[in-house]
A and B are shown apart, each in its own frame.
Chain A
Amino acid sequence: MIERPETAVPSIAQRNLEGYVGFANLPNQVYRKSVKRGFEFTLMVVGESGLGKSTLINSLFLTDLYSKDYPGPSQRIKKTVQVEQSKVLIKEGGVQLTLTIVDTPGFGDAVDNSNCWQPVINYIDSKCEDFLNAESRVNRRSMPDNRVHCCLYFIAPSGHGLKPLDIEFMKRLHDKVNVIPLIAKADTLTPEECQLFKKQIMKEIQEHKIKIYEFPDTEDDEDNKLIRKIKEKMPLAVVGSNVVVEVNGKKVRGRQYPWGVAEEGIFVENGEHCDFTVLRNMLIRTHMQDLKDVTNNVHYENYRSKKLAAVTCNGVDTSKTKGQLTKSPLAQMEEERREHVMKMKKMEAEMEQVFEMKVKEKKQKLKDSEAELERRHEQMKRNLEAQYKELEEKRRVFEEEKANWEAQQRILEQQKLDASKTMEKNKKKGKIF
């Protein structure tokens, strides 16, 4: 925030010029410069499928943005809400306008439409963020302004009032973008119905405290009258057509019914009707600058302060953001470098930690497996010993048996010897007899 010093210029004296100086030419210089640069304008159209959004866009800009070869997104009902943008370069009288139309097919078409506004909000926020980043960059040579400057919201001509979906959407978007509500397909309403409908809608808009965009008065007197008339009759009731039909010998863009031809345009009260030149002028010629200004000064600033406040509240990155705004570029670079180095150090430390941990783990594992092996070794040894003992036992038994058996054999032998000896003796004795 730039603080004005207390000793400001107290008052500025009026001076009258004594001759023609020439700075009255300043607006022309500005004009010429901006004409050379060209203008950018982003218009968003939101509404349920089948309300005539594509037709209106074609009518407003008298080009076939959506044609048979490049059909608009309305030909098929999509499952989810998408956000599509198409850029067109319009040149007229040396002035060029880069017009971006953002369409939202699938809005409000599903059975469950909760949060169908979320993709739209995300889109708007992302464009604001791009601009914020571009604004805060060091090198700001080219700053393309892709923010959404105006959002045309199409209301279905039910004749009763706003639907809950309409109210929710407008409540969420009125402080992010300029919302201009339109009554679509207004040729379906009789003048009385149209008036009642408009009154009902404005009542509900005020009830829910929705802030729609208000067209300010311009200097141009002639346009002013018409604009004021239209202004009082918000939301605008529009009828669009891409077909040229003939009415009383003259060719107009309109819709041919069996009971008559409805010309395209805006309905003002009492069945009075003006064509789209007025709306086109309002959007592009007279009020485009105002729309862009309001977007820049109000909506964008809202977004910016919210975003930066959120960041500083965290207390984490205070230095970072503050640094971007107040320090000089060199200091900023130093900071960035320091930050980078710190980050690297932190990463290194982390990696070391991880590494150590892993090493410990591995060691532990190895120890475990060693212990395991030892245990098994012990067990096997014990097994072997047990077996050995068994075998020893068996052998002993066997030896005993053997010894017994041998002893028995010897005894038998001895007996046999004795027996043979006695037999010999007996034989000898016997022979003597």
Chain B
Amino acid sequence: MSESAKPHHPSPQGKGEKTHGGDFSYVGIDAILEQMRRKAMKQGFELNLMVVGQSGLGKSTLMNTLFKSKVSRNKSVQSDPEERIPKTVEIKSISHDVEEKGVRMKLTVIDTPGFGDQINNENCWQPIMKFINDQYEVYLQEEININRKKRIPDSRVHCCIYFIPPTGHCLRPLDVEFMSRLSKVVNIVPVIAKADTLTLEERGSFKQTIREELRANGIDVYPQKEFDEDAEDRMINDKIREMIPFAVVGSDQEYQVNGKRILGRKTKWGTIEVENVAHCEFAYLRDLLIRTHMQNIKDITGSIHYETYRVRRLNESNAHLISQPSDHPAGSLLQ
């Protein structure tokens, strides 16, 4: 979403209002920003985030911290029998409507319990790939419908946050497998979970190792180099790429530090402040996902990943249709 437009005047109808002293050439085209803003606020936004990682890495806690409310699946330790690790990967999606300063957002958090928890983790990425492709399929079906809705509900996964366990050494084979397969269908943002395990030097060397391994395996994580539009974008994104993967710490408990109440973790040695950039990089992750790059993430999902899927699907059904011509609406799209 564009930066908040600063309306010079509350009624920018562009009728030659004198904004600067004696300027007759003001037409008022920039007022379109304000109109867009109002429309977007009325419509609201949708964001679908998927979190993937082994059990116990703090995924739910991080989601709660990101959106400053309990948005992820129920994790009560005392009431029902403790979380049983599911035998196969399940996909659980929870939606919330959140609002801030008049801007409404439908946030969906998609959780994947059971990923990487078994003894044999072969193909544990398959249910996830299937889910992502299913969402694309649903959208595609809506799009090629003859009578389609004015605004297609967007359930496509915009971003997948992958949690890397903080071993401090290198990526595990499971991580490499998963990321190399999924970076082709969805935007992946890798983060180092529970980063309070690592000292600053360990963190630096771990990140270095991870970046090299990602490069060596040809895994393109968000922000992808090839989708930088211009030099300015590239500069911003390069800075981000230097910091990937973000070392994050999540917490939904508040503590008093220096008279302020902040989110953090209190251990015997000190209190880890979640939003303090000297302690961990949660703030950078939040800025990337929400404050600066959210629209970009959605755009890339819509224009690149979804289009790739669509092309593939239509080519497949093209081959299928040639053998049995019918009134399938897709036929109209196949020129």
The finding on whether chains A and B are genuine partners in a shared complex, rather than unrelated, reads: yes
A202 to B253, CA, bound (A): 26
With both chains docked as a complex, state the minimum distance between the C-beta of B107 and any C-beta of chain A, in angstroms.
25
Is A144 at the interface (CB under 8 A from chain B)? no
Q: How far is the CB of A267 from chain B (nearest CB, A)?
A: 8
B199 touches A50 (CB 8 A): no
Structural contact, B273 and A259, CB atoms closer than 8 A: yes
Residue A22 is within 8 A (CB to CB) of chain B in the complex: no
CB–CB A168/B119 < 8 A: yes
Which A residues are CB-close (under 8 A) to B119? 112-114, 116, 164-165, 168
Is B56 within 8 A of A158, CB to CB?
yes
Say whether A160 contacts B273, CB under 8 Å.
no
Which of B17-25, B161-169, B317-325 is near enough to bind chain A? B161-169
Q: Which residues of chain A have C-beta atoms less than 8 A from B57's C-beta? A: 158
Q: How far is the CA of A105 from the CA of B278 in the complex (A)?
A: 34
Chain A stretch 206-262: residues in CB contact (< 8 A) with chain B: 255-262
B residues 173-199 touching A (CB-CB < 8 Å): 173-174, 177, 194, 196-197, 199
Q: How far is the CB of B212 from chain A (nearest CB, A)?
A: 13
Q: Is A49 an interface residue (CB 8 A)?
A: yes
* Structural contact, A49 and B121, CB atoms closer than 8 A: no
Indicate if B100 sits at the interface (CB-CB under 8 A): no
Q: Are A257 and B118 in contact (CB under 8 A)?
A: no
Docked CA distance A190–B54 (Å): 20
Residues of A within 8 A of B172 (CB): 49, 77, 109
CB of B167 within 8 A of CB of A164, answer no
Q: Which of A87-113 contact B (CB under 8 A)?
A: 109-113
Contact of B165 among A50, A164, A259, A271 (CB under 8 A): A50
> Quick check: is B140 within 8 A (CB to CB) of the other chain?
no
**Does B279 make an interface contact (CB < 8 A)?**
yes
Choice from B83, B169, B200, B266 contacting A77 with Cβ under 8 Å: B169
In the complex, B66 has a CB within 8 A of chain A: no
Name the distance in Å between A208's Cβ and chain B's nearest Cβ: 14
A177 proximal to B (CB < 8 A): no
**A188–B266 Cα gap in the complex (Å)?**
10
What per-residue 1/0 map shows which CB atoms of A178-205 lie under 8 Å from chain B?
0000000101111100001000100000
Verify if A273 is at the interface (C-beta below 8 Å from B).
Answer: yes
Q: Is A266 an interface residue (CB 8 A)?
A: no
Residues 259-295 of B at the A interface (beta carbon under 8 Å)? 265-273, 278-279
B77 at the interface (CB under 8 A from A): yes
Per the bound structure, the CA–CA distance linking A160 and B61 in Å amounts to 13
Task: Return the contact of A187 from the options B56, B170, B269 (Cβ within 8 A).
Answer: B269
Number of interface residues of A (CB under 8 A): 45
Asked if A119 is at the interface of the complex by the 8 Å CB criterion, the answer is no
Q: Is the CB of A109 within 8 A of B173?
A: yes
Interface pair A75/B169, CB less than 8 Å apart: yes
When the two chains form the complex, which single residue of B173, B199, B270 contacts A110, counting CB atoms closer than 8 Å? B173
Q: Is the CB of A111 within 8 A of B173?
A: yes
A161 in contact (CB, < 8 A) = yes
Q: Is A156 an interface residue (CB 8 A)?
A: yes
Give CA–CA (A111, B271) in the complex, Å.
35
CB pair B269–A260 under 8 Å, yes or no, is: yes
Interface residues of B in 129-179 (CB under 8 A from A): 165-170, 172-174, 177
Give the CA-CA distance A160 to B84 in the complex, in Å: 9
Our pick among B117, B122, B266 for the contact of A111 (Cβ within 8 Å) is B122
Chain B minimum-CB-distance residue to A79 = B173
Assess whether A111 is in contact with B177, with CB atoms less than 8 Å apart: yes
Interface residues of A in 101-142 (CB under 8 A from B): 109-114, 116
Q: Determine if B170 and A188 form an interchain contact, defined as CB atoms under 8 angstroms apart.
A: no
Interface: A410 (CB within 8 A) = no
Q: Which of B55, B83, B268 contacts A191 (CB 8 A)?
A: B268
Please state if B118 and A164 are interface contacts (CB–CB under 8 Å). Answer: yes
Contact flags (1/0) for A264-284 with B, using CB distance below 8 Å?
000100010100000000000
- Which residues of chain A are near B266, meaning CB under 8 Å? 190
- A389 contacts partner chain B, Cβ-Cβ < 8 Å: no
CA distance A263 to B268 in the complex (A): 10
B82 part of interface (Cβ distance < 8 Å)? yes
Contact A258 B120 (CB under 8 A): no
Within 8 A of B (CB), among A310-357: none
**Least Cβ distance of B55 to chain A in Å?**
6
Assess whether B267 is in contact with A187, with CB atoms less than 8 Å apart: yes
The contact string, 1 if C-beta is below 8 Å from chain B, for chain A 71-82, is 000111100000
Given contacts A109-B173, A111-B120, 18 further A-B contacts (CB under 8 A): A50-B166, A50-B167, A50-B168, A76-B169, A77-B172, A111-B122, A113-B121, A157-B194, A164-B85, A188-B194, A188-B196, A200-B82, A255-B199, A257-B200, A259-B272, A261-B269, A262-B269, A267-B268
Ordered by A's residue number, 27 sampled pairs between the chains whose C-beta atoms are within 8 Å are: A49-B172, A50-B166, A51-B167, A75-B169, A76-B170, A77-B169, A109-B173, A110-B173, A113-B119, A157-B194, A157-B197, A158-B54, A158-B57, A160-B56, A163-B55, A164-B117, A165-B119, A185-B197, A190-B267, A191-B267, A191-B268, A196-B77, A200-B82, A255-B199, A257-B269, A258-B278, A260-B267
Chain B contact residues, CB within 8 Å of chain A: 54-57, 77, 82-83, 85, 117-122, 165-170, 172-174, 177, 194, 196-197, 199-200, 265-273, 278-279
Interface residues of A (CB under 8 A from B): 48-51, 74-77, 109-114, 116, 156-161, 163-165, 168, 185, 187-191, 196, 200, 255-263, 267, 271, 273
Q: Which 9 A-B pairs have the closest CB atoms?
A: A158-B56, A50-B167, A260-B270, A260-B269, A259-B270, A271-B268, A188-B197, A160-B56, A112-B120
